[in-house]
Structure 1
Amino acid sequence: MNIIIPANKRSLLESLSQGIDTHFANCVVTVLVNKTQNTITFINGQLPLCDHYTFMLDERSIPLKNKHFSLDASFTKQLINYFIQGEDIKLEFEIQPSGTMFLEVLDRSTRLKDELQSTALRRCQCSAPSDEHLTYWANTPKCPTTKTSKATIERIVYEAHKNLPFEYLQLNKEENYVRIQRQGVVEDKALPLDMKLPVSMVLTPDTTMQMTKLCQMTSGNEIEIAQQGETITFKTPECTLTCSLAGVEEFYQKKTVPIQALKYVALNLFTLKKELNHCVKEYSQIKKADEFLLYIGDEKAAIAVLIPPYAFTKLIHVFEVGESKTNVGSLFRFSPKELEGVRVKNLQEATKTRLDIFETALGELKLGVYYSLEDNLPYTTISIERDERQLDSVLKMIKDLEEKQTDNNSTIKEKQQDLFIFSDG
């Protein structure tokens, strides 16, 4: 029996190889050949964390027979390395008179590195299929799942990457929030307004990475999801991956620390972002320094850059400023890269945006950005630091700006009056 897996499925076989953990005793990979469907399926792992990958076979695969058997896990893990990039994966099965079956492949990988090297023959004896794997295979179709679009999963992956690093990230469909655990401490954020979840779920950095790979590998437009206890499963036409959520029950029991704003302001976020974008886009030294200053006083706010040879400041229109806690400060340093990800949906919504400065349970200062003045949870947070060292310089620049604005406004008013008198004459 000769089985040929097309070269364009190499990434799928690489993913299978990466998921095989050979540290377990007597570790095997179960193989199912289906003559009717013209497929070969590899089942890997230990319950409840089993995965399977299904490959459509090349029409040159002959003569196919329905077979269930297992291969040594270390040999299966190395298979991908015995075939060079762009080469079909050719698996030749030989059945001896005794009934014993072997898989053999020609390893030409050494010749790729050194033309003087000869091809090697790699042969591995097949064994009975794993009962554990067959149980998994029989139960897989019975597992209830929620089907959603690949685009939705890609959006979930995008949001998860934005919140790294984290230990757990819970997406709550019913209450429209994201709960994040970092260093054992949890915090809540509002879900983006344009994000619709198919189902509530919990992710870890590992599951986020697996979802990313899944979206890249699948040829389908839909992905199925099922979370049960401390596992979460993702299904595509090509593979099914089950990821561990060990410790999630403890995560569920944790309480968030209520956000207490140290300083509050409602301002024009559109103006702030426009000034940021201008400075970063047009001035390479400012972009490289990656450092801006945000001033929030009792009645005004401003954004400033003090990167030699530049000294820029721009006042941001303020609608209201809340009463500050003691010793909060009024000047804060932040990275413009963090604010780049804050979406301004439209000019009307961004004109009056609520910003809170608060301190986390770990003692870090954060700038919380809210969808509306009434929301209880920010939809994103930005790391900031106090920087009172630059306060005098920034205050002087603001004073100079205000004086020049006043002089300029007076000049414009005088010209308008002169024009009015001239037109009357």
Structure 2
Amino acid sequence: MNIIIPANKRSLLESLSQGIDTHFANCVVTVLVNKTQNTITFINGQLPLCDHYTFMLDERSISLKNKHFSLDASFTKQLINYFIQGEDIKLEFEIQPSGTMFLEVLDRSTRLKDELQSTALRRCQCSAPSDEHLTYWANTPKCPTTKTSKATIERIVYEAHKNLPFEYLQLNKEENYVRIQRQGVVEDKALPLDMKLPVSMVLTPDTTMQMTKLCQMTSGNEIEIAQQGETITFKTPECTLTCSLAGVEEFYQKKTVPIQALKYVALNLFTLKKELNHCVKEYSQIKKADEFLLYIGDEKAAIAVLIPPYAFTKLIHVFEVGESKTNVGSLFRFSPKELEGVRVKNLQEATKTRLDIFETALGELKLGVYYSLEDNLPYTTISIERDERQLDSVLKMIKDLEEKQTDNNSTIKEKQQDLFIFSDD
């Protein structure tokens, strides 16, 4: 058999190679050649964490036979390195009179680095297929899955990346919330209003990375999902990946610590974001410093920048300010990058936005942003820090601004009145 995998499937073969763990004893990769479907499938891993990759073969592949066999895992892992970028992957199988089969490849990778190097011949004897892999292959079609669009999975990946770092992230379809565990502590957030989940699921950083790769590799528009116990499986036309969710049962048992707002304000988020975007976009030093100040007083709020040579402040219209807990402070430092990710769907929704300052069980201060004044869960949280050192400077700037606004308004009013005074001469 001469099997040719097209060069444009290299990323899929690279993913297979990266997933092979050669630390297990007698580790093999099972190979299934299907003459009728013109495919070759590689099965890797140990139950219940098995993966498989299926490649459509180039039409130049010849002498195909329906075959089930296994290859040494270390040899399979190295296959991708024996072919240079842009080169078809050519696998030549030789069957000896005794019935023993070998896979033979020409390794030209060394010549790519040094013209004086010669091509290497690399052969590996094939063995019987893994019974464990064949059991997995037989049961895979029976596993119930939920089919969804690739675009939906990409959105889930986007939301997961926004919440990194985390240990577990649970997306609850029925109750429309996200539950996140960091350093053993669990917190809840509301799902974005425009996000529709196909099914409830739990992710880890590793599964998030696998989903990202899957979206990049697949040529299809749909992805299937199945979560069973401590595993989650993703299927595309090219491959099926099963990821571990070890410890998820303990995660399910954990309770969230109720959010107790230390400070509450309803303000115009659109104005705040507009000022932030202006400063970051137009001033490279401010962007580099990555530091803004948010002032929340008893009756007013402002955003400020104190990055030499700049000293900027802008008052934000406040609708209401709740009673504060003692020693909360009124000036907080935050990264504009975090607030950039807060979506403002339209001016009407952003005009009156609820913000809560609360303390996590780990003692960290967070700024919770809510969809509505009545919501119990924020849809996003931003890390903030008290910064009372700059308070006097910010208060002086606010006072100067208010005085100049008063003077300016008086001047405008006088000019408007002059327009209505006519001379009798």
Query: TM class, shorter-chain normalised?
Result: over 0.9
Correspondence 1:379 to 2:383: no
Tell me, in whole angstroms, the C-alpha distance in 1 between the residues paired with 2:272 and 2:235.
43
**Superposed, which structure 2 residues align to 1:308-347 within 5 Å?**
308-347=308-347
Tell me, in whole angstroms, the C-alpha distance in 2 between the residues paired with 1:249 and 1:424.
89
Query: Secondary structure of 1:281's match?
Result: helix
Runs (4+) of structure 1 exceeding 4 A deviation are: none
Quote how far apart the aligned CAs of 1:413 are. Answer: 1.1
**Superposed, which structure 2 residues align to 1:111-260 within 5 Å?**
111-260=111-260
Tell me, in whole angstroms, the C-alpha distance in 2 between the residues paired with 1:113 and 1:424.
96
Query: Secondary structure of 1:421's match?
Result: coil
Quote how far apart the aligned CAs of 1:311 are. Answer: 0.7
Alpha-carbon distance change, 423 to 102 in structure 1, aligned in 2, over 3 angstroms: farther
Quote how far apart the aligned CAs of 1:334 are. Answer: 0.5
Tell me, in whole angstroms, the C-alpha distance in 2 between the residues paired with 1:347 and 1:424.
49
For structure 2, list consecutive stretches of 5 or more residues without a partner in the other structure: none
Quote how far apart the aligned CAs of 1:412 are. Answer: 1.1
Quote how far apart the aligned CAs of 1:418 are. Answer: 1.4
Tell me, in whole angstroms, the C-alpha distance in 2 between the residues paired with 1:423 and 1:312.
44
Per-residue deviation, residues 148-193 of structure 1 (Å, max 9, x unmatched): 0000000000000000000000000000000000000000000000
Alpha-carbon distance change, 77 to 376 in structure 1, aligned in 2, over 3 angstroms: same
Quote how far apart the aligned CAs of 1:411 are. Answer: 1.0
Alpha-carbon distance change, 403 to 424 in structure 1, aligned in 2, over 3 angstroms: farther
What percent of counterpart residues are identical?
100
Tell me, in whole angstroms, the C-alpha distance in 2 between the residues paired with 1:382 and 1:114.
52
Per-residue deviation, residues 209-267 of structure 1 (Å, max 9, x unmatched): 00000000000000000000000000000000000000000000000000000000000
Per-residue deviation, residues 318-361 of structure 1 (Å, max 9, x unmatched): 00000000000000000111100000000000000000000000
Query: Secondary structure of 1:220's match?
Result: coil
Query: Secondary structure of 1:389's match?
Result: helix
Quote how far apart the aligned CAs of 1:414 are. Answer: 1.2
Query: Secondary structure of 2:281's match?
Result: helix
Tell me, in whole angstroms, the C-alpha distance in 2 between the residues paired with 1:230 and 1:56.
31
**Superposed, which structure 2 residues align to 1:87-102 within 5 Å?**
87-102=87-102
Query: Secondary structure of 1:423's match?
Result: coil
Quote how far apart the aligned CAs of 1:420 are. Answer: 2.0
For structure 1, list consecutive stretches of 5 or more residues without a partner in the other structure: none
Tell me, in whole angstroms, the C-alpha distance in 2 between the residues paired with 1:93 and 1:362.
59
Per-residue deviation, residues 64-84 of structure 1 (Å, max 9, x unmatched): 000000000000000000001
Tell me, in whole angstroms, the C-alpha distance in 2 between the residues paired with 1:423 and 1:376.
63
Tell me, in whole angstroms, the C-alpha distance in 2 between the residues paired with 1:197 and 1:163.
17
Q: Could you say what the CA RMSD is over the residues aligned between the two structures, in angstroms?
A: 1.0
Quote how far apart the aligned CAs of 1:423 are. Answer: 9.5
Q: What TM-score do the two structures reach when normalised by structure 2?
A: 0.99
Quote how far apart the aligned CAs of 1:409 are. Answer: 0.9
Tell me, in whole angstroms, the C-alpha distance in 1 between the residues paired with 2:182 and 2:82.
41
Quote how far apart the aligned CAs of 1:421 are. Answer: 2.4
Quote how far apart the aligned CAs of 1:424 are. Answer: 10
**Superposed, which structure 2 residues align to 1:390-405 within 5 Å?**
390-405=390-405
| Alignment size in residue pairs | 425
Tell me, in whole angstroms, the C-alpha distance in 1 between the residues paired with 2:384 and 2:292.
10
Tell me, in whole angstroms, the C-alpha distance in 1 between the residues paired with 2:44 and 2:243.
13
Tell me, in whole angstroms, the C-alpha distance in 2 between the residues paired with 1:422 and 1:383.
59
Tell me, in whole angstroms, the C-alpha distance in 2 between the residues paired with 1:422 and 1:89.
91
